[in-house]
Amino acid sequence: MTARGLATLAIAAAIGALTWAAQAPAPDPVLKAMHDEIERSRGLTVPNLEAPYFIEYLIDQANTFAVSASLGGLVSQRHDRFREPEVHVRVGDYKFDNTNFAGGFGGSRYDLGRLPPEDSYPVARRYLWLLTDSVYKSAVEAISRKRAALRNLTQGDQLNDFAHAEPVHYLRDFHPQGLDEGAWTSRVRSLSAIFAQYPDVRWSSVDLDSSDGGFYLVDTEGTEIREPENVVYLRARAIAQASDGMTVHDAVTFHALEQAQLPGDAELTRGVTTLAENLSALTRAPKGEDYNGPVLFEGLAGAQVFAEVLGTNLALPRRPVTGGGRGGGFQPSELEGRLGARVLPDSFDVVDDPTQKEWRGRPLFGSYDVDREGVIPKPLHLIEKGVLKGYLLTRQPVRGFEGSNGRARMPGSFGASAAGISNLFVSSSDTVPLAELKQKLIQLCQTRAKPYGILVRKMDFPSSASFDEARRLLTASQGGGLPVSTPLLIYRVYPDGREELVRGLRFRGFTVRSFKDILAAGNDSTVFEFMNSTAPFALIGAASFTAETTVVAPSILIDDLELRPTEDDQPKLPVVPPPELVK
């Protein structure tokens, strides 16, 4: 080949290399910083101290927009961009390490605050280095104290502290919401103005929150994840006061994974207007009385009680090691130890399926591709013909289960992740029309010589109550297991079918075992979407981390439940009437 030919080939090769470089995706500086620093930390050794056997870096990233309005006026509008690091260092080995110890676990989420939002490789590495150093020191101290605590305890069958998992390589690009901020700000203000037409409403707010981003996960087992997570929701909340001083509250939320999936103006207006009308009706409703008997959970309320009472108990938390051998506030699942037992009537099946993206043409809010421990989930048949077949599991072993099934959805306690439902489908092979369910309720009350039955159409879950009200509800139930959120729309149903709205009632002794007394299920299926959290009643604003969740379930008639009036002291009514807001 001539010199000219060689030169031509060299030029062509150079052009091809440049073209490939232009087409190849640019390396992600955050992901590269995580990889490089975890490789360096993998060989971390300090004289006389245990070396790490597992290190995990998880970074949540989001660009957020939030706007809030009240009575037609703009209250706040803000943007935020953040990267929140979570570093876990485990010393010891998979059988015994520094986690699951109430005296410390060597995990960190906020020690050095947020990572800078800029894509700076050296800055990200420095932050990860400092966090790893801090967490490693805590882990070494924690395992020493955990060993000391166990010297005074007699243990039964010892469970491993951590489970192996196959490495997962799953990289998807983050993408923006494309939210029209001006249009949605105007819409939020317009929706908030609806409450001005209802003088019984003392306080109200309409809020829009939009977030686009996702999370990175890199660990020493070889897992590498970049998972996009977008969410947008519009929430309206309001508080009113009855003539006897009792405070009543309610909320309505519209959820979507992308802003294009949010409802149109007509549905949003209808939802906020219904909320205001319900609150006004509650201020004029009589207080409820003691009741023992059948209760019909219709529509939304049916899905809510399955989400709260069943969904929460399908996860198995593990009792931590403490110096005194007690869990210090630990609340076990009501379904622990009941594998293979009947927990629902034999016509019921329950499936959790994060892989299903839509249901009857509607996008499902609880779908995800990989959990926060890097495990790919699969559909999980939890209850078959009323019999409990499985639990929601993370990489923390629990009795009878060693590995994860991909349900680590939230940060948990003592170095573990918290399991949570995703898209939970509750179905029954034996159903009746809703009208027949109501007639069954009436017939039961007549048979038992009761003047009326109880029908619930909405529960306070997730709860829009104040922190003080939630605390009182928790305190009142001490020693009786986890309480159930209060019913918001609750009706007396009389023998002639007439319904009367009442207020101020709470359930007593309503547990997952109550589901064994389901007498009938409706032929309906209601979709209930919510932001799940580890806070009691999934209390709005009480948790720093939430997980998108959907429950699809029918109406149900339960044979016997107990309701009692609230006994809280009531605030006095305002001395001066409210100003005229609508001219």
Phi-psi category of residue 259: left, alpha or beta, with phi > 0 → left and psi -120 to 50 → alpha? alpha
- Among 40-44, 208-212, 432-436, the minimum mean pLDDT is found in 40-44
Q: 3-class SS at 475?
A: helix
Mean pLDDT of 122-150: 92
Place of tokens 């690009």: 173
Give, in order, the Cα–Cα distances in Å from 3 to each of 11, 16, 249, 315, 580.
12, 20, 85, 72, 92
Instruction: Report the C-alpha gap between 550 and 423 in whole angstroms.
Output: 5
Q: Is 48 a domain residue?
A: yes
393: confidence class by pLDDT, cuts 50, 70, 90: very high
- Among 14-23, 96-105, 388-397, the minimum mean pLDDT is found in 14-23
- Single-letter code of the amino acid located at 461: F
Q: Is 230 a domain residue?
A: no
Q: Which residues contact 311 (CB under 8 A, 6 or more apart)?
A: 420, 421, 424, 532, 549, 551
Q: Is 571 a domain residue?
A: no
Phi, psi of 149 (to 5 degrees): -65, -35
Of 154 and 397, the one with more pLDDT:
397
Tell me, rounded to whole angstroms, the distance of Cα 462 from its chain centroid: 9
580: confidence class by pLDDT, cuts 50, 70, 90: confident
pLDDT at 7 (0 to 100): 46
pLDDT at 583 (0 to 100): 54
The residue from 142, 171, 200 where one domain ends is: 171
Mean pLDDT of 337-357: 97
Annotate 76-139 with DSSP letters as a single string: EEEEEEEEEEEEEEEEB-SSSBS-SBTT---EESSTT-PBPSS--HHHHHHHHHHHHHHHHHHH
Instruction: Report the C-alpha gap between 205 and 196 in whole angstroms.
Output: 11
Q: Is 213 a domain residue?
A: no
Q: Is 552 a domain residue?
A: yes
Q: Which residues contact 441 (CB under 8 A, 6 or more apart)?
A: 294, 296, 453, 455, 493, 557
Give, in order, the Cα–Cα distances in Å from 172 to each of 30, 87, 325, 536, 578.
14, 22, 44, 33, 53
- Among 224-233, 533-542, 551-560, the minimum mean pLDDT is found in 533-542
Highest mean pLDDT among 160-164, 540-544, 563-567: 160-164
Q: Which two tokens stand for residue 397?
A: 């072993």
* Domains of the chain: total: 2
pLDDT at 70 (0 to 100): 98
pLDDT digits (tens, 9 = 90+) for 188-206: 999 999 999 999 999 999 9
- Single-letter code of the amino acid located at 149: A
Share of the chain above pLDDT 70, in %: 91
Instruction: Report if pTM > 0.85.
Output: yes
Q: Which two tokens stand for residue 401?
A: 């289960």
pLDDT digits (tens, 9 = 90+) for 373-382: 999 999 999 9
**167 and 299 in a common domain:** no
Residue 40 structural domain: 29-63+82-171
- Among 148-162, 168-182, 242-256, 272-286, the minimum mean pLDDT is found in 148-162
pLDDT over 60 (residue 213): yes
- Single-letter code of the amino acid located at 559: D
- Kindly tell me the sign of the dihedral angle through the C-alpha atoms of 431, 434, 439, 442: positive
**527 and 384 in a common domain:** yes
pLDDT at 482 (0 to 100): 78
Q: What is the chain's length?
A: 583
The residue from 171, 203, 227 where one domain ends is: 171
Instruction: Report the C-alpha gap between 211 and 277 in whole angstroms.
Output: 31
Pairing of strands 224-241, 201-219: antiparallel
Q: Is 193 a domain residue?
A: no
pLDDT over 70 (residue 446): yes
Share of the chain above pLDDT 90, in %: 78
pLDDT over 70 (residue 16): no
pLDDT over 50 (residue 17): no
Degrees (nearest 5) of the Cα angle 150, 151, 154?
70
Q: Is 185 a domain residue?
A: no
Q: Is 241 a domain residue?
A: no
pLDDT digits (tens, 9 = 90+) for 482-524: 789 999 999 999 999 999 999 999 999 999 999 999 999 999 9
The residue from 129, 155, 171 where one domain ends is: 171
**447 and 300 in a common domain:** yes
pLDDT at 23 (0 to 100): 44
- Among 20-29, 31-40, 286-295, 525-534, the minimum mean pLDDT is found in 20-29
pLDDT over 80 (residue 4): no
Annotate 135-176 with DSSP letters as a single string: HHHHHHHHHHHHHHHHTT---SSPPPS-------EEE-----
pLDDT digits (tens, 9 = 90+) for 94-110: 999 999 998 765 444 44
**556 and 413 in a common domain:** yes
- Among 97-111, 314-328, 409-423, the minimum mean pLDDT is found in 97-111
Give, in order, the Cα–Cα distances in Å from 283 to each of 172, 201, 502.
50, 9, 10
Contact in structure between 375 and 138 (CB atoms under 8 Å): no
Q: Rounded mean pLDDT of the chain?
A: 90
- Single-letter code of the amino acid located at 172: R
pLDDT at 325 (0 to 100): 46
Phi, psi of 367 (to 5 degrees): -75, 145
Q: What Rg value do the Cα atoms of the chain yield, rounded?
A: 27
Contact in structure between 553 and 426 (CB atoms under 8 Å): yes
Nearest to 554 by CA among 528, 524, 518: 524
Instruction: Report the C-alpha gap between 514 and 323 in whole angstroms.
Output: 35
pLDDT digits (tens, 9 = 90+) for 302-315: 999 999 999 999 99
**303 and 161 in a common domain:** no
pLDDT over 50 (residue 416): yes
11: confidence class by pLDDT, cuts 50, 70, 90: very low
Instruction: Report the C-alpha gap between 348 and 151 in whole angstroms.
Output: 46
